Structure 1
Amino acid sequence: MQNDIKKSIYSWALYDWANSAYATTVMAGFFPIFFKSYYSVGTDVTVSTAQLGIANSVSSFVVVLLAPLLGAIADAGSLKKRFLFLFAFLGILMSASLALVEQGNWELAAFVYALGNVGFMGSNIFYDGLLPSVSDDKNVDFVSGLGFSLGYLGGGILFAFNVFMVQEPDFFGFVDKAEAIKASFISVAVWWALFSLPLLLFVEEKKEHKKEKFSLVLAGYLRLKKTFERVTSLKGLFLFLVAYWFYIDGVDTIIRMAVDYGMALGFDSSSLIMALLIVQFVGFPATLIVAKLAEIWDTKKVIYLSLLIYIVIIVFASMMEKVSEFYILAVMISLVQGGIQALSRSYYSKMIPQKYSAEFFGFYDLLGKFAVILGPLLIAGVALFSHNSRLSIASVATLFVIGGVLLFFVDEKEISKEVREALD
């Protein structure tokens, strides 16, 4: 029995290992570079930045629109795995399909990429929904953390191999770097599919009473409406969520647009890829250190420290001239990227009662998905109107400033008391 439990836990966590390859190699790594130099070749760098920003925003908006529906379906336990693999299949297929898009066809490349993002983000909704099926109150933190850590390692390992492929295309029998990058998109699809199999085979869902599908959809939207009314009535909690929405938008925007910005400055793509590897492998221990610092010091203060570092990152990025400075930027990002995400979640958990955790975290996750819309659009708009890539990246600082100012008025102890009085 104990072995079966361990098998289900590690099988579940391996899905993070599987699909993080898409997040690293495709979303953060090669696609932004390839989009600018291959799919959108000959286009002004600020225009291609806008094109990529819009593709990211549209895909995120689609998932936001679908989230209530997906959440309702996920409540029917026996459908979680089925829909996880439906969306995973979409992401896997689109990742491989990027290899078929011809040079200069940026419209098709953006469309395929957006669909791949929908598959990636949509599958994660059901992946998160399966967590209660493989954990209990005693080990849920460990199990959730295991998935996070394996995602860092799995995505980093394949990305490192893909970087080697692109830097040494002759060694692998490729004609040039472009062919190696296309092959890396296919390798992501294979990796994602292969390491998803343990979840398919060894994770058993907790069975729940099935309802008629239409009533599930309706119940999902009604539940979202009820939760929204409840959260907005709790002014302190709602204030934190608005603050979180602003600053996490800045975090996600930097994750998705940093490489594109480096390309706009004329930095060599190989150097940008190496910088991403720094983020991937330095980020894992840095996240643990930041979490430990929060235990010793204070969660809110460490979040503030992270926001301050992000503002310094933005200012530094807007003045960069050398590739070596991009490496420094990568180290700075890796120090806070994972930590601010982890601490925001734990800080929020201190404010909400245990018996309402699923409901309130559902709303929290929805905001997280919504947060990938504003930032890329902000960059796209500033880039189009100013024709200045430095000004477009500098505009992201406003998201951290607004989030930080709102966070100043948040008192987790008072909010926790307010929530208990309102709900108990």
Structure 2
Amino acid sequence: MNKKILSWCLFDFANSSYSAVIAAVIFPVYYANVIVGNETGLGDLWWGRAIALSMAVVALTSPLLGGIADYAKIRKRLLFLYTLLCVASVSSFYFLHKGMVMEGFALIVIANIGMEGGLVFYNSFLPEIAEPAHQGRVSAWGFGVGYAGSVFSLLLALFLINKGLITGVWPMVALFFGIFSIPAFLSLPKDSRNGSRIHRAAMDGLRYTWKTLKKISANKEQRKFLGAYLIYEDGVNTVIVFSGIFAATTLKFNPEELISMYLIVQMTALIGAFLTARPTDYWGPKKVVLMSLCLWIIVSVAAFFVHDKGHFFIIACIAGLGLGTVQAASRAFYTQFIPQGQESEYFGVYSFVGKSSAVIGPLIFGFISSTFGSQRPAILSVALFFIVGLIIIYTVKGGGPNVMKKQEV
């Protein structure tokens, strides 16, 4: 492993501290229950708004950012600026206290834009640091190193919480992210001096994305697939965003239990992805996606009725299996629509749809929770995303076995 690849993987190690501690496990509960107060679902409402707004901004600007990354050739500088924006915002969480709803809202929106927006530039380095034949394994290395970063940062957070220093968790994450991202800024390829001007590059990226969207929308089956993916992935993202808050608020999970649940979900997601790798090729990704959506429907309905922590741990394990399965099988399904040699532009649209699928669900969850004063009807509403997605996917032609395709060729 050369220095560039190692530094790229270390950036995944660094930003996973944000994904685990800030976006998924600790800070959502702290913001909803402590900063806002979640007795009547108001914390859910504000957290849903923050996630929805930040992801909407990222989704709408991602074609522009992609164009800047590809054509202006200043992605390293922009990756640094977005990382700095995220790190500075997270470190400012230290000054938040009960009642600072708008200040916390603004900071999490800015932090999430910095994190998610920076990933556009981070991902664009992969083709430059790894040969095509090695990109899959390098991507997997980054994922594995990122998982280690999640575990390590959560253990550090748990140590601080047990010492009664929960407000110290936020500067810890900022330092963790900042320090372990330094190798990337030192070793990744430098920016080119002969790129287009930023505004022209941004417009080139927008035109490129629009052209690809028009091309895909002309194909009925691709259009239906992406529509279904947008809907059911919104359900998946809503579960990810609110599962920690639901466990802490409704089931009274303590920080140790929340972290244990998160780690178990991560492990079962890996297991699910590996277990369904062969069936995806032999049965076809469509069948696997349909099966995983049925699993998600069961999980959503079961969570509505659960009152016992042990039972919720079991549901979380099943959800983890569904998480790894639906993400891997969806990507495999989509690849069957992609003409040879057009992988980059088609996956650019796939990524754009994926980022757009974290807007409506969090808003609906927060609205229902605050309206009913309970998270149970809100978690049940998520099942509708999976049901609608399942119905649409069922009508999509394609998604057959990959093995048969290879044999016919």
Q: Mark yes or no: TM-score above 0.5.
A: yes
Code of the aligned partner of 2:58: V
Name the structure 2 match of 1:421. none
Aligned residues: 400
Name the structure 2 match of 1:24. 20
1:340 lines up with 2:326 in the alignment = yes
- RMSD (Å), alpha carbons: 2.0
Q: Output the CA distance in 2 between the equivalents of 1:209 and 1:345.
A: 34
Code of the aligned partner of 1:218: M
Name the structure 1 match of 2:353. 367
Q: Output the CA distance in 2 between the equivalents of 1:92 and 1:208.
A: 27
Q: Output the CA distance in 2 between the equivalents of 1:10 and 1:342.
A: 25
Q: Output the CA distance in 1 between the equivalents of 2:88 and 2:329.
A: 34
Name the structure 1 match of 2:128. 133
Moved more, 262-271 or 80-89: 262-271
Code of the aligned partner of 1:35: Y
Q: CA deviation at 1:199?
A: 1.5
Name the structure 1 match of 2:407. none
Cα deviation digits, residues 318-369 of structure 1 (max 9, x gap): 0111122221122112212133212212221222023111111111111111
CA contact (8 A) 2:72 2:196 kept: no
Name the structure 2 match of 1:317. 303
3-state SS, counterpart of residue 276 of structure 2: helix
Cα deviation digits, residues 169-210 of structure 1 (max 9, x gap): 1xxxxxx2xxx2222211111111122122212221585841
3-state SS, counterpart of residue 124 of structure 1: helix
Cα deviation digits, residues 82-116 of structure 1 (max 9, x gap): 11111111111111111111222122112111111
CA contact (8 A) 1:46 1:264 kept: no
Q: Output the CA distance in 2 between the equivalents of 1:127 and 1:412.
A: 32
Name the structure 1 match of 2:264. 278
1:410 lines up with 2:405 in the alignment = no
Q: Output the CA distance in 2 between the equivalents of 1:227 and 1:408.
A: 25
Name the structure 2 match of 1:80. 75
Name the CA shift for 1:372/1:413 in 2 (closer, same or farther; >3 Å).
Answer: closer
CA contact (8 A) 1:263 1:269 kept: yes
Q: Output the CA distance in 2 between the equivalents of 1:326 and 1:202.
A: 44
Match of 1:326 among 312, 315, 323: 312
Code of the aligned partner of 1:110: F
Q: Output the CA distance in 2 between the equivalents of 1:244 and 1:355.
A: 23
Name the CA shift for 1:38/1:385 in 2 (closer, same or farther; >3 Å).
Answer: closer
Alignment of 1:218-237 (within 5 A): 218-237=203-222
Q: CA deviation at 1:266?
A: 4.4
1:217 lines up with 2:209 in the alignment = no
Name the structure 2 match of 1:192. 177
Cα deviation digits, residues 115-152 of structure 1 (max 9, x gap): 11111100101111111111222111111222122222
Name the structure 2 match of 1:389. 375
Structure 1's unaligned 5+ residue stretches are: 170-175, 417-424
Q: CA deviation at 1:381?
A: 2.2
Name the structure 1 match of 2:3. 7
Alignment of 1:21-420 (within 5 A): 21-41=17-37, 43-76=38-71, 78-166=73-161, 168-169=162-163, 176=164, 180-204=165-189, 207=192, 209-270=194-255, 271-412=257-398
Q: Output the CA distance in 1 between the equivalents of 2:398 and 2:193.
A: 35
Name the structure 1 match of 2:405. none
CA contact (8 A) 1:265 1:389 kept: yes
Code of the aligned partner of 2:236: V
Name the CA shift for 1:85/1:9 in 2 (closer, same or farther; >3 Å).
Answer: same
Q: Output the CA distance in 2 between the equivalents of 1:366 and 1:221.
A: 12
Name the CA shift for 1:165/1:326 in 2 (closer, same or farther; >3 Å).
Answer: farther
Q: Output the CA distance in 2 between the equivalents of 1:297 and 1:198.
A: 43
3-state SS, counterpart of residue 138 of structure 1: helix
CA contact (8 A) 1:133 1:206 kept: no
CA contact (8 A) 2:251 2:307 kept: no
Name the CA shift for 1:319/1:40 in 2 (closer, same or farther; >3 Å).
Answer: same
- TM-score using structure 2 length: 0.92
Q: CA deviation at 1:407?
A: 0.8
Cα deviation digits, residues 205-242 of structure 1 (max 9, x gap): 58584112222122222222212211111111111111
Name the CA shift for 1:299/1:206 in 2 (closer, same or farther; >3 Å).
Answer: farther
Q: Output the CA distance in 2 between the equivalents of 1:186 and 1:111.
A: 17
Q: Output the CA distance in 1 between the equivalents of 2:156 and 2:398.
A: 44
Name the CA shift for 1:51/1:206 in 2 (closer, same or farther; >3 Å).
Answer: closer
3-state SS, counterpart of residue 121 of structure 2: helix
Code of the aligned partner of 2:95: L
CA contact (8 A) 1:152 1:284 kept: no
Q: CA deviation at 1:306?
A: 1.3
Q: CA deviation at 1:413?
A: 6.3
Q: CA deviation at 1:35?
A: 1.3
Name the CA shift for 1:351/1:79 in 2 (closer, same or farther; >3 Å).
Answer: same
Identity %: 29
Q: CA deviation at 1:283?
A: 3.0
Q: Output the CA distance in 2 between the equivalents of 1:355 and 1:244.
A: 23
3-state SS, counterpart of residue 196 of structure 2: coil
Q: CA deviation at 1:296?
A: 4.7
Q: CA deviation at 1:263?
A: 2.9
